[in-house]
Amino acid sequence: MCGFVCLWNLDDEELASRMIRKMEHRGPDALEVLRPRNIPVVMAHARLAIIGPDNGAQPIYQGDDILVVNGEIYNHSDLRAILGESAFQTRSDSETVLHLFRKNALRWVSRLDGMFAFVLATPDRIIAARDPLGIKPLYVAHIGEGLAFASELKAFDGVDVAKIEALEPGVMFDSQAGMRRWYRMPQGAADPEPGIDEELTWRELRLVLEEAVAKWMVADVEVGSFLSGGLDSSIIAAIAARQSPKRLKTFSVGLAGSPDLIAARRVAGYLGTEHFEHAFTPEEAADVLPHVIYHLESADIDLVRSAVPTHFAARLARRHVKAVLTGEGADELFAGYSYHHAYIDRPRELADELTRSLGTMHNINLQRVDRVTMAESLEARTPFLDRELIDFAQSIPATLKLRRTDPASPESTGPTTEKWILRKACADLLPHDLVWRKKAQFDEGSGAVTALGEALQAMTGSATPLDRAAEGAVYESLLRQSYSDPDRIINAAGKWVANRVSVAVA
């Protein structure tokens, strides 16, 4: 995992150096700034060495091409075999991008399987692309007649640009061919086809999920797992524990006595993981809040609330590993949020809403996970957002994701059960009551909302809890204090968008 800067038609090494140093946290293992003689570009890269740690330095400069990549290409071994090992000069997974490009196939970028953002330049051309879900960030701005690309918004702070834009997920920009969308989210299925075998469906889902976890654990360093004790992170940890070459390390945070700490401790004991936990306090939450908001690059209330426990989990994990698995994406794939219950009798609308929310993750949860973990030089991996798993999950009827259940049933979480088929697929991995436990939001289960409430009262001297408007004002004030041009950051930051698919009235 890394961070990079690319200046195209801008001969300014000092600017590139200044921008990349604002993102050194993304890659503390090596920092390089390179201006090739034959290409009108300056590239800078901060590296967190995960694959090919000994000889995978970037930028990768070979012949008339130069490349910077942020992320991981999980099918790089297969691509090496296809492209020919003799073409490669490093063990880095990122080098596959360069050789795929040189094959000149029409849809070469679609061969990349993983989470990534990259910029590739030749003497007369520049290409930039981003992974299907936008797990890895990429921003671009015009500076005079040139272009500036960077992995985080903070790289542009204090730089004279008119507007910063995010390259959309699944999009490629080519200075010769323009913009094109190379990936489109498959539309979710609503009703089951006649004769569908539910058991065969959830058994296949289990295999696809196991394959995704195995793929996203590929690394030359040890990979751990966040563990909140909820369904999603517990499933990932359970599968990873079976596949890990050594005893899996798991990490949990929360207020002392919080539901997440208690549940995670139980799951870790059941799985036999090497478990680490940190009980944070309201005072600690107050202390880290400016740091979290600066790195989050957003003052969105809900993002900040979930970013605080993510920060503590990332800081804890980084003491032991360089990469962790997370459960992000399961709620969007399998109808895990409480608001989804309103769609119980409207499978078409539910399927459409899940498809919509998957397409907006880059602006919300994925921004939080990337920024807050990378602030601690930790790589977060999201197996639920594997392309093959997304394709399969989207083919599963919405009626098998959110299911009306009998409250008397031991497999019921209430009048309706969210993520029903995911629970069925993984029922043997965890204790029965944990598999069918009701979902709690990360910020609620960890106690972060309570901690932040107390922290904000202490920070402001308020005698009563702050309402949402006052809470948001504190977060925005902290963000404004962190940047020389805060409006530019605020305007470009991801935001929760209230454009959910409406539920039709019968």
What is the rounded CA–CA span in Å between residue 153 and residue 483?
Answer: 10
Q: 405 near 173, Cβ under 8 Å?
A: no
* Residues 326/475, Cβ–Cβ less than 8 Å: no
The helix (H) or strand (E) run that includes residue 116 is: strand 114-122
Determine the Cα–Cα distance for residues 68 and 56; give it in Å rounded to an integer. Answer: 11
- Token pair for 116: 């990534």
193: left (phi over 0), alpha (psi -120 to 50) or beta: beta
**Rounded distance between C-alpha atoms, residue 35 and residue 61, angstroms:** 10
Instruction: Please state, in angstroms and rounded to a whole number, the distance separating the CA atoms of residues 27 and 349.
Output: 42
Tokens representing residue 274 in the block: 């090497």
* Single-letter residue type at 56: G
Number of H helices, E strands in the chain: 18, 19
Please answer whether residues 278 and 312 qualify as being in contact, where contact means their C-beta atoms are separated by less than 8 angstroms. yes
Residues 495, 409: Cα–Cα separation, whole Å: 39
**119 annotated ligand binder:** no
Classify residue 153 as left (phi > 0), alpha (psi -120 to 50) or beta. alpha
Tell me which residue has tokens 């426990």: 309
Annotated ligand binding at 253? The verdict is yes
In 3-state terms, what secondary structure has residue 253?
A: strand
6 among known catalytic residues: no
Residue written as token pair 């949020």 = 337
The token pair at 395 is 């083919």
- Which residues define the annotated binding site for L-glutamine? 93
Q: Which residues are catalytic?
A: 2
- Which residues define the annotated binding site? 93, 253
- Which residues define the annotated binding site for ATP? 253
